[in-house]
Structure formats: structure tokens, C-alpha cells
């Protein structure tokens, strides 16, 4: 016999549905499975090219020249390991972050992970809950659902018994329950999110820029490689030597470690933030962190600590049961909001009034109310919404709000049958709640001001109350608050002007928060939005970066890219600093990798046109690249940095990489040409070219490694020492086919390297001056350690 819907499923029915696979199993948003991780790190274009060239060297050349093949193994292994570490961190925090679903089984209400919901479960809803599965309403008590994330419609939808419910929407008012009819991949939101929510690293300017550059390089390698192969085959008597020279040029053109370093930097960023209890739900959020220049803060739960206390209830009428009415309203909701909780604490006993009509609180209305048998209709909400301007009680409420207190009004109305037409409100009492400002908020706001991040405080509370809190935190412009009810609704340009000129905004509706984000973005700003309530969801979704508090509503946490699991507002500076570290360091190491690519292109062109043997063998390239790019880049990519990112990543990198690559190539070719003009052997000539190349690229490393701290100085010094050891220690020297035995060649090599170092210094200074010119400012490293 079928169980009544009000009792939910039985344990046996749940077990049967689990056996049939009718469970809400969906892929976690924050990570991809192990096979996908392995494929992404092994089956790459560069791994294919390098692997092919390695096979050619093993067949036609000497195995020592096949060292570059280890790059494929190292790239793949390091990439897989780092991403698996990031995956473990993300998956662990994702489980902690998941808002539990409330279901009724065997007549008992219980909380379970969303993935445990089965087909036919009776799911319970209260304000702030996100709908995890599709279904039909079983019971509704003033239940209003926001479907804007699915439909784009901003107005909440009142739900009645039998109405369709779609996953991805969220409850904003009232309570109710619904029976699950679509779970797992069959749910509406799961179908929409299958592609959009996939774990990936590609949706960012940084990744797009690198991918675009790699595509250009790939197309260049084909004709230049063909020219190089033809020239080497034409002049060499030995086919193996011709293949070795051609492979050396092609391998050096490939910036094989750049993608790896980018992936590692992202993954390590995720791990570091995870240790700070920050859940990164989309990896591109790491990059957006570095680009943020406007931070919109929701006052409640961000600047103020969670929870409030009832400070005072001042009756305006002695003949009305003010305290009883206040208690009755506070005890109506089985899942009370912070305001109702504060009133319940002061009035723990409900008066026992019988409810006829109930209107739940919503952020759009700014009030809640109920009609009681024999006691009339009462409303409780924002004082400046319910009270009449110009009256003594309105003036008193404004005066109290100006001190930073939260002021509500309790009043009576004729009827609540039509919540859209409240009618005249008979003021009955002023209710004052006290909010606690987070002690660390002022220091955090000061950090953002120093970093050039503009703060916008946006709240649904009274403007004077918000302004008082902003003033207490010494927020610039906090003395003037804008009432959002006076803002233009259909003039985005005017709205953007007002937002640019002001800092504090009160009485902001959820729809307005969303329009604020859009208006700021229209002015070219990268906008981060923090929030914890259901009224923040729309703005969190539309912002470039949504940051939710771990204690916030399930809907807010679901749409945010970053969740502060410990609700610690002070962790935001560390979050922003991590994003800046990743982006600034990737830009730094990109200059090293792309300089290598350009000097290899120029050397290949010169070799192909002039017809000499290629200046070095693959093993030489492996040695120099490891000491001047690979090893240093690994440390530089993970170093502290406080630079704020700016758009134009590719042009900035190429401004240095192209001229630096040309300088290095010309110096190497001059050194090689001078050496081969004498009587020295090919091995000695190539040693001359390798020495010049190391000096030039090592000096570029010295320039790029700025600002100097002890570990950076030690790093560049160690690389120089390792190269000297390679020249001095016979077994190593023989392995890398180095022969520094021809003094005149050695002197020319050092001279050409020194000349290249001078030219590189000039170019670096010019590029740096351009980057610091008006419109190209680059903040200095403020977090170096």
C-alpha cells in the first residue's frame, strides 16, 4: 500500500530506488575524474611533437641527445600529481560545503547529502534552500521560489500544491515540501550545467592567451622546421648529424614547460587556498582574483558578525499587545531568520494566537506579517518602508538607524489577504536590534584601499544604518549613503555614474544588486561580490567573482566561485594575494619561455638561410633550458607576489620576449660563426655557442627575477654555478659534449654573451618604463618574503 506523501518514503522504498540507480548522483562541480586528468596531461599536442622528435633522435642520433624526451615524462607526471592534489583538496572542501538536503522519510525529518536524494523523496524547503532535484509541490505555506537563474525572470514565483519545481531555483520566502520527480543527470539544472560547470582551466585571459600563442607557434614550426631540416640535410655528410641539428632547433622552439607551469601555479593556488579553508569551485577564479578592482560587500554577515540581539522594544501605543504580537510573529516561521531568532531569544514563549493568513519575509518586500483570529493583522519590517515619512515615529527610527542600529517597525493593518496592497499601516512599536561589527573588518578594508581595490558597501538595510557602520570602519565616502529606492531603473548609464561616485548604498533589492554588478562591469571594472544570503544569489552569479560565506544559504554557496568556509572576512586579502601571485608569476616565467621560443625561431631561420650546422645539439638545449628557464621558472611561478593583474597579458610578454629572443639569437650566431671560421672542431664551435647562449639567457633570468630577495639571489647564483660545473667536471662535460678547450673561442663567446647582456638590460629597462608609464602602471611586489 502506498505511503501518504506527508510521511515520505519508507526505508525499504529508499533502498529499492538506490538499487535501481534512481539517486541524485551528479558530477561534482569542482573537479574532473582521474582518467580525464591523465588524458589532459599526457595527450597534448606538444607531448606528441616532442615524443616524435625523441623517437627520431633515438633512431638516428645519440641517446644523450634524447634527454629532452624526459620533459614529456616530467610535464605529465608533475601536472597529474599537482592536479590530483588539488582535486583531493577541492573534493574534500566540496563535501564540507554542500548544503544538506532536508527530507522526510518514515515520517521523520532528517538532513542528508544532496547526492542521497532518491526518486520520490519528500524534500522540505525553507528560505535560502536551493532546489537540488526537480519535483512537484506537495505542500506550500507562502512558499515563493526564485527561478531567475533558470528563466532570467527576477520576480519570485508563488508556489501552490501540484506546481512544478525545477532544480537550480531556490526558496526565498515561506516553507513547503515537494516530491522529487527528476534526480541526478535527469534533473533540469544538471542538464543545463553539464557543460558549463565542467572543471577546466581554459576560461581565462591567461589560458586563452597562452593557447593562442601556442597555436601561432605550431603553425610557425611547420615551415621553419621544414627549412631547417632541408638545410641540415643539404650540408651534412652524416644523416644522423643532420637529424640531430634539425631536432635541436625544433625542440627549442617549443615552450613545452609554459603550459605545465601555468597548470601547476593554478593547482598550487587551489591547495594553498584550501589550507585557508577557501573552496575554489572554478579554477579560473584564481585568475579573476588578481584582476578584481571593485569589491562589493554585503554588510550583513560580512562587515557585521552573524546574529543580532534585541536591544529595545518601544511601544507607540499603550493599548495594544505589542510584545505578544511581536512574539507571535517571531514564532511563526519554523526556520527563523536572524531577526526572528533575536526576538525569539528575548520572547521564548509564543502567545498561542491562531494564524489565519501568513505572509513570509522576503528581501523584496522588506516585511513579514500575519493575520490572527481575534487579534487582527500585524506586520513587522523595515521602519522606513512601513512608517510614514514626516511622522514623529519615522524621525525617531531614522535617528536611531543613524547610530548603526537596525530599526524595525511593528504595525497593524486592515488585512493581509493581498500582500501586494498593504494599505495604511498603524504604527504600534519601534523595534531596535543591535548588530556586531567584525573586529577585523577595518583592517581588511584598509588593505583593499592600499591595493587600489574600490569598496562598495551594498545592503538591504536602512541607508543611515549602513552609513553609520561604514563611518565606524573609516570607509572613504561612508558618510554619505544613497537610498537605492531613488536610483534610476531604466538608465544603466546614469546608474553607473552614481555607483562610480558613491560608496554606501542602502535599501538595495536583490534585483538592484544584480544591476549594480552589471553597471560596474559596463565601466570596465572587474567586480567581486561577497554575500551569504538568498538575496545575494543573483549578484553573486553575475559578478566576475562571487564570494560566499560558508555559513550562508545553500543557494549562495552553490553559485559562488569561492566559498570562505570559516566565514572569515579577513581571509579575503590572502585570497586576493594568491590570485595576484599566480598571475604575476606566470607572466614573469612566460617571458623566459617565449624568449627561448623566439631565439630558436631566429636561429633556425639564420641556419636555414645561411646553411651552417645548427649551433648546438639537443643535449645542449636541454642543459641551458633547464638552468635558465625550467628550474628557475618552477620556483618563480610559486613565489609570493602582490602585483595586481591587468588585461593585455600577451602584448606585455611579447614586448620583451621578441627583442630579447632576437638579441640572444644574434649573439649566439655571431659567436658560432666566429668559432667555425677558425680551425676548431664542431664540438668546440658548439661549446662557444652554448656558452654565449647561457650567459645571455642567464642574464635575462637575473633581470626578470627582480625584486631581489635572498632566495632569488641564491637561485640565479646556483644556476651559474651548475653551468660552470658542467664545463669543469669531465664526466658531465663529456656527457653534454662540451669542449671549452679553445681559448680564442671561449673569449669570443664570453664577449658576445656580455654584449647581449648589455643589450638585454637596455631592452628590459625600456619595456619596464613603458609598463610603468601612465595607463600601464604596475604595482610593486608588496608581499615579497
Whether the upstream peptide bond of residue 760 has omega within 30° of 0, thus cis, is no
- Measured CA to CA, the distance from residue 346 to residue 313 in angstroms comes to 10
Residue 352 is placed in which grid cell?
A: 498561542
Q: Which of 125, 124, 127 lies closest to 362, judged by CA?
A: 127
Residues 467, 470, 475, CA angle at the centre, nearest 5°? 125
Cis peptide bond prior to 707, omega within 30° of 0:
yes
Q: Are strands 527-531 and 545-549 parallel, antiparallel or unpaired?
A: parallel
Burial of 195 (0-12, 13-18, 19+ CB in 10 A): exposed
Residue 359 near residue 151, CB atoms below 8 Å: no
Name the one residue in this structure whose C-alpha cell is 538506490: 18
DSSP assignment, residue 300?
Answer: I
- How many whole angstroms separate alpha carbon 59 and alpha carbon 742? 32
Residue 435 cell numbers, joined: 548588530
Closest to 444 measured CA to CA, from 555, 575, 350: 575
> Residue 312 in 3-state DSSP?
strand
Q: How many CA atoms lie within 13 A of 25 on its CB side?
A: 7
Closest to 475 measured CA to CA, from 506, 436, 502, 508 = 502
Give the cell for residue 326: 511581536
Task: Identify whether the C-beta of residue 393 lies closer than 8 Å to the C-beta of residue 408.
Answer: no
Residue labelled with grid coordinates 601536472: 79
Give the span between the Cα atoms of 118 and 121, in whole angstroms: 6
Cα(149)–Cα(132) distance, integer angstroms: 13
Angle at 96 between CA 93 and CA 98, to 5 degrees: 105
| Closest residue by Cα to residue 52 from 258, 251, 255 | 251
- DSSP annotation string for 581-594: HHHHHHHHHHHHHH
Q: How far apart are CA 465 and CA 303, in angstroms?
A: 13
Locus of grid cell 610578454: 653
User: Residue 76, by phi and psi: left (phi above 0), alpha (psi -120 to 50) or beta?
Assistant: alpha
DSSP 50-110: HHHHHHHHHHHS-GGGGGGGHHHHHHHHHHHHHHHHHHHHHHHHHHHHSPPEEEEETTEEE
Catalytic positions, written as ranges: 298
Q: Of 280, 218, 263, which Cα lies nearest the Cα of 586?
A: 263
Q: Which residues have CB under 8 Å from 473's CB, separation 6+?
A: 303, 437, 441, 442, 445
Cα 26 from chain centroid (whole Å): 22
Amino acid at each position: 500500500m502506498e505511503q501518504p506523501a506527508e510521511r515520505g518514503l519508507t526505508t525499504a522504498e529508499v533502498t529499492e530506488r538506490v538499487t535501481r540507480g534512481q539517486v541524485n548522483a551528479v558530477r561534482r562541480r569542482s573537479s574532473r575524474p582521474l582518467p580525464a586528468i591523465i588524458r589532459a596531461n599526457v595527450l597534448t599536442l606538444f607531448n606528441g611533437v616532442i615524443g616524435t622528435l625523441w623517437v627520431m633522435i633515438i633512431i638516428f642520433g645519440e641517446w644523450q641527445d634524447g634527454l629532452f624526451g624526459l620533459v614529456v615524462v616530467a610535464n605529465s607526471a608533475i601536472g597529474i600529481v599537482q592536479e590530483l592534489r588539488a582535486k583531493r583538496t577541492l573534493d574534500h572542501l566540496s563535501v564540507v560545503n554542500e548544503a544538506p538536503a532536508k527530507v522526510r522519510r518514515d515520517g521523520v525529518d532528517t538532513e542528508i547529502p544532496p547526492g542521497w536524494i532518491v526518486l520520490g523523496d519528500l524534500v522540505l524547503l525553507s528560505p535560502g534552500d536551493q532546489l537540488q532535484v526537480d519535483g512537484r509541490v506537495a505542500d506550500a505555506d507562502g512558499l515563493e521560489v526564485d527561478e531567475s537563474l533558470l528563466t532570467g525572470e527576477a520576480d519570485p514565483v508563488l508556489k501552490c500544491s501540484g506546481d512544478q519545481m525545477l532544480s537550480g531555483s531556490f526558496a526565498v520566502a515561506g516553507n513547503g515540501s515537494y516530491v522529487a520527480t527528476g534526480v541526478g543527470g535527469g534533473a533540469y539544472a544538471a542538464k543545463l550545467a553539464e557543460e558549463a560547470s565542467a572543471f577546466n582551466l581554459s576560461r581565462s585571459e591567461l589560458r586563452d592567451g597562452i593557447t593562442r600563442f601556442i597555436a601561432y607557434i605550431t603553425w610557425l614550426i611547420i615551415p621553419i622546421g621544414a627549412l631547417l631540416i632541408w638545410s641540415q640535410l643539404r650540408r651534412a655528410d652524416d644523416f644522423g648529424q643532420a637529424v640531430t641539428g634539425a631536432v635541436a632547433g625544433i625542440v627549442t622552439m617549443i615552450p613545452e614547460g609554459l603550459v605545465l607551469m601555468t597548470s601547476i601555479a593554478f593547482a598550487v593556488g587551489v591547495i594553498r587556498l584550501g589550507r585557508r579553508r577557501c573552496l575554489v569551485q572554478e579554477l579560473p577564479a584564481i585568475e579573476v582574483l588578481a584582476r578584481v578592482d571593485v569589491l562589493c560587500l554585503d554588510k550583513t554577515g560580512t562587515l557585521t558578525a552573524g546574529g543580532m540581539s534585541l536591544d529595545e522594544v518601544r511601544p507607540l501605543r499603550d493599548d495594544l499587545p505589542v510584545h505578544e504580537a511581536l512574539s507571535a510573529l517571531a514564532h511563526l516561521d519554523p526556520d527563523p531568520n536572524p531577526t526572528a531568532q533575536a526576538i525569539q531569544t528575548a520572547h521564548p514563549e509564543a502567545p498561542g494566537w491562531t494564524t489565519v493568513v501568513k505572509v513570509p519575509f522576503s528581501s523584496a518586500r522588506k516585511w513579514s506579517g500575519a493575520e490572527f483570529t481575534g487579534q487582527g493583522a500585524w506586520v513587522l519590517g523595515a521602519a522606513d518602508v512601513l512608517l510614514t515619512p514626516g511622522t514623529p515615529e519615522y524621525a525617531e527610527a531614522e535617528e536611531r538607524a543613524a547610530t548603526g542600529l537596525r530599526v524595525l517597525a511593528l504595525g497593524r493593518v486592515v488585512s493581509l489577504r493581498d500582500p501586494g496592497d498593504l494599505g495604511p499601516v498603524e504604527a504600534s512599536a519601534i523595534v531596535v536590534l543591535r548588530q556586531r561589527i567584525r573586529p577585523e573588518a577595518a583592517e581588511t578594508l584598509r588593505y583593499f584601499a592600499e591595493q587600489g581595490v574600490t569598496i562598495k558597501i551594498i545592503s538591504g538595510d536602512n541607508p543611515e544604518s549602513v552609513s553609520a557602520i561604514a563611518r565606524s570602519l573609516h570607509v572613504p565616502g561612508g558618510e554619505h549613503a544613497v537610498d537605492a529606492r531613488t536610483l534610476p531603473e531604466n538608465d544603466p548609464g546614469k546608474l553607473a555614474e552614481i555607483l562610480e561616485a558613491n560608496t554606501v548604498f542602502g535599501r538595495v533589492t536583490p534585483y538592484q544588486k544584480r544591476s549594480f554588478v552589471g553597471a560596474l562591469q559596463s565601466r570596465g571594472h572587474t567586480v567581486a561580490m561577497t554575500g551569504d544570503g538568498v538575496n545575494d544569489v543573483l549578484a553573486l552569479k553575475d559578478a566576475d567573482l562571487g564570494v560566499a560565506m560558508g555559513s550562508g544559504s545553500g543557494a549562495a554557496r552553490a553559485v559562488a566561485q569561492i566559498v570562505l568556509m570559516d566565514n572569515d572576512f579577513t581571509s579575503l586579502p590572502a585570497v586576493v594575494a594568491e590570485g595576484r601571485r599566480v598571475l604575476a608569476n606566470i607572466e614573469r616565467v612566460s617571458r623566459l619561455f617565449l624568449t627561448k621560443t623566439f631565439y630558436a625561431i631566429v636561429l633556425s631561420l639564420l641556419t636555414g638561410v645561411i646553411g651552417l650546422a645548427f649551433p648546438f645539439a639537443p643535449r645542449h638545449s636541454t642543459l641551458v633550458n633547464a638552468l635558465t628557464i625550467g628550474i628557475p621558472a618552477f620556483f618563480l611561478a610559486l613565489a609570493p607576489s602582490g602585483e595586481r593583474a591587468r588585461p593585455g597579458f600577451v602584448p606585455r610578454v611579447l614586448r620583451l620576449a621578441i627583442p630579447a629572443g632576437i638579441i640572444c639569437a644574434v649573439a649566439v650566431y655571431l659567436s658560432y660563426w666566429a668559432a667555425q671560421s677558425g680551425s676548431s672542431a664542431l664540438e668546440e664551435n658548439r661549446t662557444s655557442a652554448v656558452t654565449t647562449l647561457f650567459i645571455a639567457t642567464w642574464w635575462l633570468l637575473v633581470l626578470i627575477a627582480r625584486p631581489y630577495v635572498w632566495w632569488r639571489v641564491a637561485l640565479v647564483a646556483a644556476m651559474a654555478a651548475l653551468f660552470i660545473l658542467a664545463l669543469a667536471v669531465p664526466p658531465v662535460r663529456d656527457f653534454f659534449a662540451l669542449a671549452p678547450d679553445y681559448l680564442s673561442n671561449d673569449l669570443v663567446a664570453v664577449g658576445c654573451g656580455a654584449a647581449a647582456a648589455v643589450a638585454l638590460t637596455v631592452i628590459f629597462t625600456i619595456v619596464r618604463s613603458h609598463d610603468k608609464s601612465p595607463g600601464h602602471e604596475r604595482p610593486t611586489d608588496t608581499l615579497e618574503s
